[in-house]
A and B are shown apart, each in its own frame.
Chain A
Amino acid sequence: MSAMLLNKEKWPEFVKMLAGKKVLAPQADGDAMRFAAVAEGEAPALDYNNTRVPPKGALFPQTETMLKFQSGSEQVEEPQLDQETVVLGLRPCDARAMAIVEKLFKWDIDDPYFVRRRDLTTLVGLACIEPGMNCFCSSVGGGPASTEGLDMLMVDLGENYLLEAFTEKGEALLAETKDLLEEAGDVQLKEKEKVVGDAEQKIKRKVDTEGVPEGLPGLWEDPLWQKVSASCLGCGTCTYLCPTCHCFDIQDETEGFDARRCRMWDSCMFDEYTMHTSGHNPRPTRRERTRNRINHKYGYYVDKFDVIACVGCGRCTNLCPVNIDIIETIRQVKEAL
């Protein structure tokens, strides 16, 4: 692992040196921030809390075209994935989510789309200095400077960014930009520890997950699910904004004589999510769907991959239209155990 320093004045040049690759970075959109492609010659400012929509689409786009074909033709065209991409300034929680989801996409078979995109993508994180209102990463195995899933981490040290690479891709990026960088010393590494330690102290909300994965099956018929889901609108906000939610549907779509097979995000909160052809739905109401969302993150995923599929980014709680609060839900689960 190498640690380097980048003076913030050289940040625009650093971004410029990535030319030729697609650069995704958080950009202002009214009051909110969102990940978007950086226009040539621009250098995004990274002083933001977090984006509303997570950057998961960089590896798992909301709509992935798997193949294209035309009516009357037997030719099938598969889009080639060859765009090298750099995601700049994603938060450690979002990178960690990508590592968690990767376990599934590399499980029984390597998912060609996710794995290919991951190979083509360099993830450059930015450690959190100001955790948001509903951040609880440190309660679920992460932290403001977690490096899991990242190729490189940047830490804001005031005048400089401290750059640390953890993978070949990260090292390659440091090598490409070495003219702009200086070697970091112990002073800066100590400074980093302080900055990260301070950030950890600022995390306001905590979740106690002990016993939750083991206890969830016993709460299958517990009245708590009725209580939690009573106000649920059944929209996809919590799942679409969740960096670890990875359910998808595959559909064929047509436009005139052109057709495409697409894989798109799906949401377990939608009522047609597990609808069978017969019309039967094993999750007929929002009670079962809410139970599924929590069980998938805090139960099934732990059974299968030994990690909670929630990184504590707080988005579902921030933006739920009716204040369904995952921290409170887990507290209620604990209480019911």
Chain B
Amino acid sequence: MKMDLEQLRKTAAEVVSRDDVRYLVGWKQGTYGYRVAPGFIEDAAGAAELIFSPLCTANLATYLTLAEQLPVPRGEEPDDRKVALMVKGCDSRAVVQLLVEKGIERDDVVVIGCPCPGVIDADLLAEKYPETEDLAEMKWDGEDFLLIHGGEETKIARDELLAEKCRLCRYPNPIISDIMLDQEVETWELAEDEGVQEIEGKDVDERADYWAEQFEKCIRCYSCRNVCPLCYCQDCVLDRLNPTWVNRSVNFSENTAFNIARAFHLAGRCIECGECERVCPANIPLGKLNRKLAREVRDKYGFEAGVDPEAEPFQASFKPDDPEDFIL
């Protein structure tokens, strides 16, 4: 599959020129090397900055709820125009889940779908092809990735760089969209979730030891929470001081309280975009934790987050005939 950048930019320019669209959030070339940055496009000219490539790992759906609501000056009307958002398959699940939870309204957003053959793992890329100051590009090239840097093209096998979340991805095509930028991609054979299998292979004590070692590293920067499109509480339990549910002290006990709170608040809500693990400066394998919980919810309750806009939110639905046979 090849993403036609001209088509993408043309479509984006049209969308952002609409009277009912405030700005568009998409991916643009970053400041150096392979880096890609979120781009906030406000006019048709700005659309020329947009890209879509195997480097576009970030899930931009987080900006739907992250946007700050500033006080409206007296005599002015609030700007309630739509936000346009570029989404991959996984990102679109965040939009769906936000709709399910009524975190956003369908009319608030123009979804521009980008069918996605899979993105790269930036750490793997930098390890094998060291970063440079001059800008590099990447493309999908049949079954492979193509790295374009300093006038040279390097073909890299897909398996070599494919991100873990993509190896496990069941939804490469956007589930929801107003405009689809390309033809759907074919789904691929899924890898075994070795990370979750590793956890499941441990007994209770081993699991406790494993996570103790991981959580001990946490520096509580909250980048995992802030990057998450589904962590959008206005008043987060972690920020409360009165009462203080989780102390600010960085130690095993508080770090564990934080990490468990984060993971459980996302059970049945996490859409497995892998952003938390990608941004963690302490290298904590948060994806394993999230995917394990997602698997539990799927197996026990038959619910999968972010795939059906009409679904009832898993943690907020109630059935009088619920067997409740797990309650002791």
Chain A interface residues (CB < 8 Å from chain B): 29-32, 34, 52-53, 62-63, 133-134, 204-205, 230-231, 233-237, 240-241, 249, 251, 253, 255, 260, 262, 264-265, 267, 270-272, 284-286, 317, 319, 321-325, 327-328
Instruction: Answer whether residue B223 sits at the interface, using C-beta atoms and an 8 A cutoff.
Output: yes
By the criterion CB–CB under 8 Å, are B217 and A251 in contact? no
Instruction: Answer whether residue B256 sits at the interface, using C-beta atoms and an 8 A cutoff.
Output: no
By the criterion CB–CB under 8 Å, are B40 and A231 in contact? yes
| Among candidates B123, B244, B250, B278, residue contacting A62 with C-beta atoms closer than 8 Å | B250
| Among candidates A29, A231, A237, A240, residue contacting B38 with C-beta atoms closer than 8 Å | A231
A241/B281 contact (C-beta < 8 A), A63-B250, A204-B133 known: yes
| Among candidates A30, A204, A205, A233, residue contacting B227 with C-beta atoms closer than 8 Å | A233
State which of B25-33, B165-173, B188-196 sits at the interface with chain A: B25-33
Ranked nearest first, the 3 interchain pairs of A and B with the lowest CB-CB distance are: A235-B223, A321-B279, A236-B221
By the criterion CB–CB under 8 Å, are B278 and A321 in contact? yes
| Residues of B17-73 whose CB lies within 8 A of A | 30-33, 35-38, 40, 58, 62-63, 66, 68, 70
By the criterion CB–CB under 8 Å, are A319 and B281 in contact? yes
B244-273 to A contact mask, C-beta < 8 Å, 1/0: 100111110100000000000000000000
Q: Shortest beta-carbon distance, B279 to chain A, in Å? A: 4
Known pairs A236-B222, A325-B32; list 19 more (Cβ under 8 Å): A31-B127, A52-B283, A53-B281, A133-B33, A231-B38, A233-B62, A233-B66, A235-B221, A236-B219, A237-B221, A237-B281, A240-B221, A251-B248, A253-B244, A253-B248, A317-B31, A321-B223, A322-B37, A323-B38
| Among candidates A62, A205, A231, residue contacting B219 with C-beta atoms closer than 8 Å | A62
| Among candidates B31, B40, B131, residue contacting A325 with C-beta atoms closer than 8 Å | B31
Contacts A/B (CB < 8 Å), 21 sampled: A30-B283, A31-B283, A62-B250, A63-B250, A133-B33, A133-B130, A205-B133, A230-B38, A231-B38, A233-B66, A241-B221, A251-B244, A251-B247, A260-B249, A270-B222, A272-B239, A285-B68, A317-B31, A319-B281, A323-B36, A325-B35
Assembly CA distance A234 to B239 (angstroms)? 13
Assembly CA distance A231 to B59 (angstroms)? 12
Instruction: Answer whether residue B139 sits at the interface, using C-beta atoms and an 8 A cutoff.
Output: no
Assembly CA distance A52 to B32 (angstroms)? 19
Among residues of A, the one whose C-beta sits closest to the C-beta of B30 is A323
The main secondary structure of chain A at its interface with chain B is: loop
Residues of A within 8 A of B130 (CB): 133
Instruction: Answer whether residue B292 sits at the interface, using C-beta atoms and an 8 A cutoff.
Output: no
Assembly CA distance A262 to B251 (angstroms)? 12
Residues of B within 8 A of A237 (CB): 221, 223, 279, 281
How many residue pairs link A and B with beta carbons under 8 A? The number is 121
Residues of B within 8 A of A230 (CB): 38, 40
B89-130 to A contact mask, C-beta < 8 Å, 1/0: 000000000000000000000000000000000010001001
A53/B282 contact (C-beta < 8 A), A133-B33, A133-B131, A321-B223 known: yes
A29/B31 contact (C-beta < 8 A), A235-B222, A235-B227, A249-B248 known: no
By the criterion CB–CB under 8 Å, are B249 and A262 in contact? yes
| Among candidates A31, A204, A317, A322, residue contacting B123 with C-beta atoms closer than 8 Å | A31
Q: Shortest beta-carbon distance, B24 to chain A, in Å? A: 12
Q: Shortest beta-carbon distance, A49 to chain B, in Å? A: 11
Interface bin, chain B: 35 or more
| Among candidates A53, A63, A317, residue contacting B251 with C-beta atoms closer than 8 Å | A63
By the criterion CB–CB under 8 Å, are A236 and B223 in contact? yes
Residues of B within 8 A of A62 (CB): 219-220, 250
Assembly CA distance A234 to B279 (angstroms)? 13
| Among candidates A32, A241, A272, A317, residue contacting B283 with C-beta atoms closer than 8 Å | A32
By the criterion CB–CB under 8 Å, are A285 and B70 in contact? yes
Q: Shortest beta-carbon distance, B315 to chain A, in Å? A: 24
Residues of A within 8 A of B225 (CB): 235
Assembly CA distance A61 to B35 (angstroms)? 32
By the criterion CB–CB under 8 Å, are B248 and A264 in contact? yes
Q: Shortest beta-carbon distance, A206 to chain B, in Å? A: 10
Q: Shortest beta-carbon distance, A94 to chain B, in Å? A: 16
Residues of B within 8 A of A30 (CB): 283
Assembly CA distance A53 to B218 (angstroms)? 11
Assembly CA distance A323 to B35 (angstroms)? 7
Q: Shortest beta-carbon distance, A229 to chain B, in Å? A: 10
Instruction: Answer whether residue B226 sits at the interface, using C-beta atoms and an 8 A cutoff.
Output: yes
| Among candidates A205, A322, A327, residue contacting B58 with C-beta atoms closer than 8 Å | A322
Residues of A within 8 A of B247 (CB): 251, 253
Assembly CA distance A86 to B64 (angstroms)? 47
Residues of A within 8 A of B40 (CB): 230-231
Assembly CA distance A71 to B39 (angstroms)? 53
